Amino acid sequence: MRFFWVVVVAFLPFAALLAFPYIAQLLGLSQSGAPELDDVFKIHSGISQRIVPVCYQPGREPPAYDFTLVDQFNKTFTLSSVWSRPVVITFAYTYCPDVCPYINLVLNATLPALRGVVVVEVSLDPERDTPTRLFHYSQGNRYNWTFVTGPADVLEKVWRAYGVTRVVQQGYIAHDVLFVVVREGKVLGVVKGLPKPDDLARYIQKIINRDC
């Protein structure tokens, strides 16, 4: 009997290794278990089926909504303190199982082409996206931009001001995917949908250059 348990214990690490790919896929930990981007577009409400870049004509830009929230370092962040430079605002949440990871991957790949641009990611999940959670999420993924969160009533005003639709069902948040370009208190343009990194960089640069 003792020999039997020795064999069982010795075999457990190998069994775990064999089972890991299947467990990881079920938990969404493996790349192979990640949803395909086309599938995400089909199942996630609020996402444009086509990419829609909008560039407002100079002199006709809507005013940008200023806000004060808390960043991943638990410090106060005010939008107007950075909008002397171009700012790209997007919206996501750290517990998002499908679209948000793609938003962040695209942003991360786009940043090298957007020198001097400030990126601000506004949380859609104030209950769970605490500053500590945002810190670990951004550091763990090596996302080098500003993540902000705050009270639900303050965030709701930000979402509404920038045209973000948010629907919550059983902890899942369906939302619009967009990138708002702001500078000097004005909304210069918006990219709706989730383009490839090269395309997103090109759209944003055209908006910043006022090539409308």
Take residue 32 and report the two structure tokens written for it. 């192979």
Instruction: State yes or no: 175 annotated in a binding site.
Output: yes
Neighbours of 194 (CB within 10 A): 23
Do 103 and 194 touch, CB atoms closer than 8 A? yes
Residue 136 annotated in ligand binding:
no
Residue 96 annotated as part of some ligand binding site: yes
Name the pairing type of β-strands 146-149 and 68-71.
antiparallel
Calculate helix-pair angle for 197-208, 99-110, nearest 10 degrees.
60
Residues composing the chain: 212
The structure tokens listed for 168 are 């919550």
Would strands 172-175 and 178-183 be described as parallel, antiparallel, or unpaired? unpaired
**Of 168, 140, 170, 139, which is closest to residue 155 (Cα–Cα)?**
168
Residues in binding site: 96, 100, 175
Residues in binding site for Cu cation: 96, 100, 175
